Structure 1
Amino acid sequence: MKVVPHFMVLLMLGCARADMAGECDLAGFYTELGCTPTPSGDNSTLCPDSFTCPELHPDPAMCYYRGIAYSDKSTIPQNLINNPCSQACSCQVASSGGPRFECAAVDCVEVFDSDLRQCVSTYDLEACCSTGNVCGNDAIANLKTCEVDGKSYREGESFEPKNTHKTCICTAGWDGSTDNPSVCRDINCGIEIHYQNKLLDNCAPVFVGNKKSCPISFACPSETTKIVRGVNLRGINAQCVFGNTTLGVGDEVTVDERCTTCSCEVPPFVSCTMKAACN
């Protein structure tokens, strides 16, 4: 029997997780929450049938981030937050609405300054806003470019390669690889920070287009919610939870959001897709 060294097992697992987050629906969402994938019964596919998640809210009177409890008014240490756009996030426990994190507003000057629209804004992996600007036709023309997924990016610009769940910076030495941590990093959606109370209420993440990106919102149960029982063609035993209701794979949920469809596909969360264009 061939023995694989321990460090090689860890390396292969890390690569599989990285590929899975970019290629499988909801894999990035679950990985960020610390959930563990359940291997698919079909060995030909990388994507798990379901995930097993830790208890995300043992105490409804506390906020939780990465398994650590935060009491009212306590702040998450910045070095624990893997998202440069989430700054000074503190727990707020209100009498209604459930626990939530509130963060400082981050306003990027390149969004509001019209004079910069003629320039190329340059970015750093560890910064939320641009860290510099290249202005003038000659200076811009001298920038190297990166060709990614049929699009061209100038040196210093950021982009998200398809099927990677990563954000990268175009550099003069870009070789197409996303494995270099000085050039690319994993995308962190800040799910626990921005949707703390939605997780507590077992709401469903809402995605636009596909379920490999960050959710844009959560759909929660209401008085008009209806469950439409479907057929579990994949024979998956794991179940989803939506509010206080348990669903099987293939079941659908009607929600108040227009042009949004929700179903139990990859337990334990019901997930929703919103059409990018909706009449």
Structure 2
Amino acid sequence: MKSVFCLVMLSLSSAYADIAGECDMAGFYLELGCTPLPQADNTTICPDAFDCPDLRINPDPNTCYYRGVSYKPGAPFPQNVVKNPCTKNCGCSIINGVPQFTCAVVDCVEAEDAEECIRTYEVDSCCSSGPVCGKDAIASLKTCEIDGVMYKEGQAFQPVNTKKTCVCTAEWNGRYDDPASCRDLDCAVEIHYQDMIFSKCAPVFFGNQLGCPISFVCPTEETKVIHGQNIRGISSQCFYGNMTVNVGDTVTVAEKCTKCVCNVPPYISCIMKGSCDD
């Protein structure tokens, strides 16, 4: 029985990795520990909605939360629980009466190279581990062909239809679930936007909803709900502050190139376009 259980868990983990790279909002929700709700008709792998237990709790106004664990101001926050290598030295603080994580964000400042070079990376590094320079040195490196593109050993890439960041290694076996070559692309949304998440504000994505949110937008007194069509007949609803919004409805925001809609509950999600004409 135990081996069957492990096999099921492995299958679920694989499925979660797939939907994170292929389905709108899936990566965002899975990072928050939400559970995908199965579709009624099972037409695609993409869930119609997610169940997010933390949305139902009444958070302690003097506590920070990360991946289901609470942290008081000044309490130790171990670096090994942070899944984003560019986020360091985090701690819980109360700022203007609101609990927030404060962290050092690594800024990778790298000098221009005087000759032909490529930047190389480690799987769990934020910044480049150093350049390899010169035609002969570069030519001697192993290569990996991913999605029709050839990468040199040490170069980083993000495979299409995944929410992974990988590094071409000498032992590359083509498997995105190999921790020696790939890791999940973690946005650290709970760390950077905890107050926005508990306030049920809407994550804003650029271009599509498969990557990391670039900001959040919260309801105001001027916010209006514009009723749309719930073509998929989804019964779950979105929360926007104290508002409840049906699937297919949009909410007005100040940024005119940003559209916010209830598409995959329970969060309203927004897409910022590069041009208002798009």
Same fold by TM-score, threshold 0.5 exceeded? yes
Provide the rounded CA distance (Å) in 2 between the counterparts of 1:130 and 1:91.
29
Quick one: which of 210, 226, 229 aligns to 1:228? 226
Which residue of structure 1 aligns with residue 103 of structure 2? 103
Give 1:176-255 correspondences, 5 Å limit.
Answer: 176-255=174-253
Encode CA deviations 1:121-164: one digit per residue, 9 max, x unaligned: 11111111111221122212222332222333221011110111
Q: State the distance in 2 between where 1:227 and 1:136 align.
A: 58
Structure 1 pair 35–263 and aligned structure 2 pair: CA distance change class (3 A)? same
Q: Distance in 2 between matches of 1:221 and 1:73?
A: 31
Cα gap change, 1:76 to 1:116, in 2 (>3 Å) = farther
CA contact (8 A) 1:91 1:99 kept: yes
Q: Are 2:143 and 1:145 aligned?
A: yes
The residue number in structure 1 matching 2:65 is: 64
- CA 1:260 to 1:60, structure 2 compared with 1: closer, same or farther past 3 Å? same
Task: Tell me the equivalent position of 1:82.
Answer: 83
Is the Cα–Cα contact under 8 Å of residues 160 and 167 in structure 1 kept in the other structure? yes
**Aligned-pair distance for 1:117?**
8.0
- Paired letter, 2:188: G
On the 8 A contact 1:158/1:169 being kept in 2, the answer is yes
Q: Distance in 2 between matches of 1:149 and 1:278?
A: 31
Correspondence for 2:128 among 103, 127, 130: 130
- Tell me, in whole angstroms, the C-alpha distance in 2 between the residues paired with 1:118 and 1:197: 45
**Counterpart AA for 1:129:** C
Q: Figure out how many residues of one structure are paired with residues of the other and give that number.
A: 273
Query: 1:170 touches 1:183 (CA, 8 Å); kept in 2?
Result: yes
Aligned to 1:8: 7
Structure 2 residue 20 is the aligned partner of structure 1 residue 17: no
Partner Cα separation in structure 2 for residue 186 and residue 105 of structure 1: 18
Deviation at 1:224, TM superposition (A): 2.8
User: Is the contact made by 2:116 and 2:135 (CA closer than 8 Å) also made in structure 1?
Assistant: no
Bigger mean CA deviation after superposition, 240-249 or 174-183: 174-183
Q: Which residue of 2 aligns with 1:48?
A: 47
1:258–1:76 CA distance, 2 compared to 1 (3 A):
farther
Contact 1:75 1:88 (8 Å CA) reproduced: no
Counterpart of 2:28 in structure 1 is 29
Q: How does 1:166-177 map to 2 (within 5 A)?
A: 166-177=164-175
CA contact (8 A) 2:115 2:134 kept: no
* Native 8 Å contact 2:143 2:151 kept in 1: yes
| TM-score normalised per structure 1 | 0.91
Deviation at 1:225, TM superposition (A): 1.9
Range that drifts further, 248-257 or 70-79: 70-79
**Distance in 2 (alpha carbons) for counterparts of 1:20 and 1:210:** 14
Q: CA offsets, 1:219-255, max 9 Å, x none?
A: 1112332211112121111110011111010110111
**Runs of 5+ consecutive residues of structure 2 not aligned to the other structure:** none
Q: CA deviation at 1:278?
A: 4.5
Assess if the C-alpha contact under 8 Å between 1:168 and 1:185 holds in 2.
yes
TM-score (norm 2): 0.91
CA distance in 2, matches of 1:118, 1:92: 45
Partner letter of residue 74 of structure 2? K
Whole-Å Cα distance in 1 between the matches of residues 261 and 114 of structure 2?
43
Q: Secondary structure at the match of 2:15?
A: helix
After superposition, the CA RMSD in angstroms is 1.9
The percentage of counterpart residues that share the same residue type is 56
Q: SS of 2:113's equivalent?
A: helix
8 A Cα contact 1:65 1:193, kept in partner: yes
